Amino acid sequence: MAGRALIVEADGGSRGNPGVAGFGALVRDAATGQVLIERAEPLGQASNNVAEYAGLIAGLEAALRIAADADVEVRMDSKLVVEQMSGRWQIKHEDMRRLAGQARGVVRQLTSGGGRVRYTWIPRDRNKAADALSNLGMDGRSIDRMPGSVADAASESTADSLVAQMDSGRGAALTGATRLVLVRHGVTDLTVTGRLDGRGGSNPPLNALGQDQAEATAATVARLVAGWQASDQERVEPSSSPVHLVTSSLRRAAMTGQAIADRLGVTPVEDRDWDERAFGEWDGLTFAEIGTRHPAKLARMRADTAYAPPGGESRDAVTARVRLAAERARSRGGIVIVASSRVPILVVLTDALGIGTERFWTLQTAPASVSVVEFWPDGGISVPMVNLTSAVDGHQS
């Protein structure tokens, strides 16, 4: 005989299909309706179906944590997943077969303990709690919690709270984020040879590869924007996601920004505080050349944020101006795309992630990459994406 009766509600989604994806799942006590566990995770770039299967697996794993012999009813609004897992539909896609196999592995653990699992399709409007969690996953938030437990005694279910707010007409507290989309410029002739080129340097344009990268990145940004706007339109008013575009004054960033502007139909605004760090006398040199000629100064620059290369800027000075620029960008609201350079982007990312100055250089931000920081009305910050690149000429940019 099966043990404790549980209900798993699961969902997943993708803004773009494939696009920015995430899943949500929760487990309820079948008798009382109390939420026992809720989970949400971002998945990076994935399809709706992959995200839905990920939500199913997360829900089954959560049920197993509660009772290894549980009597589980899985409720989902995905007809595909319900029919495939019930054995009524064939699974033809390789990704789906792999994920279904993972789900069945968890089911076997439940049934071997005396439990059982069955699947029920429900309309989307009856799956709001899991949908709310999956949207948090797509927003870059990770949740794995037991509402009402001793460790979480003061908390209510995040998903049920969001649904109640949406149904009351007040809107969810976690809507209305300002999304800062940080785009590093495409390559120049100096970039590909590893030579420094900061504010006050030779200021080269994008080369042919850099222009191709800018076009590919513009297409990626357009897909992300379309996905965010579609999701926001479902939850709030259509005008909630205005799009702004800011570029540094350097030619390579302005050209990259113009490619995005052409794709989105917006007008770029220049802000010099997004310029790359000024490297002074070191402009045009590689780090190997600087290390040979000025080893002590290079070591000091890496260790001392207040030290400026001869004729250049300290990292503290760059950080101060970039923080002002980021605050101006945030004040625009909606979706703010910034075309800039490596050091300014690292300033924003390390601030958002709480990374100390000693690990400033540990994040990878490739040319023509996209990173996203979200600032929420409740004061929360999330980083759903870092260093997303587009393939150009068979290579990752």
Cross-strand partners of 40: 24, 143
Contact by Cβ (8 Å): 196, 279: yes
* Cα 132 to Cα 340: distance, rounded to the nearest angstrom: 33
276 catalytic per annotation: yes
Tell me how far CA of residue 188 lies from CA of 145, 202, 215, 343, in angstroms: 47, 11, 14, 16
Catalytic pick from 9, 38, 73, 185?
A: 185
Per-residue HEC secondary structure of 39-55 comes to EEEEEEEECHHHHHHHH
Phi, psi at 286, each rounded to 5°? -90, 165
Annotation marks residue 395 as catalytic:
no
Residue ranges with strand state E in 84-212:
116-121, 143-145, 178-184
The whole-angstrom distance between residue 261's C-alpha and the CA centroid of its chain comes to 22
Distances (CA, A) of 142 to 50, 67, 191, 327, 374: 17, 23, 36, 25, 14
9, 38, 215, 276: which is the annotated catalytic residue? 276
CA 78 – CA 82 distance, rounded (Å):
6
Strand partners, 286: 195
Q: Give CA torsion, residues 352, 356, 359, 362, to 10 deg.
A: -10
Residues with active-site annotation: 185, 276
